Structure 1
Amino acid sequence: MNFITVSSFDNYIDANIILGKLQHEGITCFLRDEYTVTIDPILTNAIGGIKLMVPEADAQQAADLLALFDKERRKHMECPNCHSHNVEYISNPQKSGNWLSAVLTFLFGSYAMSIKKVYHCFTCGFEFDELPDAPSPAFSPN
């Protein structure tokens, strides 16, 4: 049985959540390079992250489910400026803390001091530190 990569992740939490969701849907899958990335996160980009592997025969079904999961996730992320759902949590290299961190890392060691991550709206370009509180769904006893 040939396995192929359908997605990759930069942290084990997201990878295991998606792994569990696919397994719940009946797709045989596993994570490659999870332990390497977890033990030494600096290698994440060098090895291509944690790879979600599925059988070649299930690749299309897995890709469709991943798209559905991403659509559901985006429903809960809304830009407070333009109300778009085209929002991602990213590292922003333009923040001064990242440049300072890069210089200090180069001079004093192999670990970054701090990485500034923000939510970025790809529709209007607005950046924010926290998601606004989403209204809770209405409770229905039936």
Structure 2
Amino acid sequence: MKVVARFSFPHEAHIAKASLEAAGIESVIADEHTINAQWLYSDAIGGVRLMVTEPDQQEAIAILATDFSTAVEQGTALSDEIRCPHCGDHHYKPFTKGKRPAFVVFLLLGFPLFYYQHGYQCQSCGEFFKSDDE
């Protein structure tokens, strides 16, 4: 087994391992439990190691070096098909209705009393709405 990447935290290694598994490359995470038990040892022992077999080493390094951020941005773009039911505009942003009062009550009482809803807020008229998909 050859080390293809080192990480400070185990969750970072698991994200990279998932990328390799999606490409069909078997991998192993080493020193994960040591770092979970005593995270201050991370730099001392070289961090959490992601290891693959020697034949897969170059392909794994290439996959881990690839920047997928543009694909993520394109994949999460809000659809222009959704329109505000109040004014018909398609300029909106994700919004959580009732989050602030629920948080304040939680701080004061120690338990949530209000509920909140996920949806969208129109940037033109300020109307809160949910999409038809939900």
TM-score (ref. length: structure 1):
0.50
**Partner Cα separation in structure 2 for residue 60 and residue 43 of structure 1:** 28
The structural deviation recorded for 1:35 is 0.4
> What value does the CA root-mean-square deviation take over the aligned residues?
2.4
User: SS at the partner of 2:11?
Assistant: helix
Structure 2, unaligned runs of 5 or more: 82-134
1:33 pairs with 2:31: yes
The structural deviation recorded for 1:139 is 2.4
User: SS at the partner of 1:31?
Assistant: strand
- How many equivalent residue pairs? 79
AA partner of residue 139 (structure 1)? S
CA radius of gyration, larger in: 2
**Partner Cα separation in structure 2 for residue 18 and residue 7 of structure 1:** 9
**Partner Cα separation in structure 1 for residue 59 and residue 53 of structure 2:** 10
2:19 is aligned, of 18, 21, 43, to: 21
The structural deviation recorded for 1:137 is 1.6
* Runs of 4+ that moved beyond 3 A: none
Q: Which residue of 2 aligns with 1:12?
A: 10
* 1:8-43 superposed Cα distances (whole Å, 9 cap, x missing partner): 001111111111111121101010000001110010
**Partner Cα separation in structure 1 for residue 9 and residue 54 of structure 2:** 24
User: SS at the partner of 2:68?
Assistant: helix
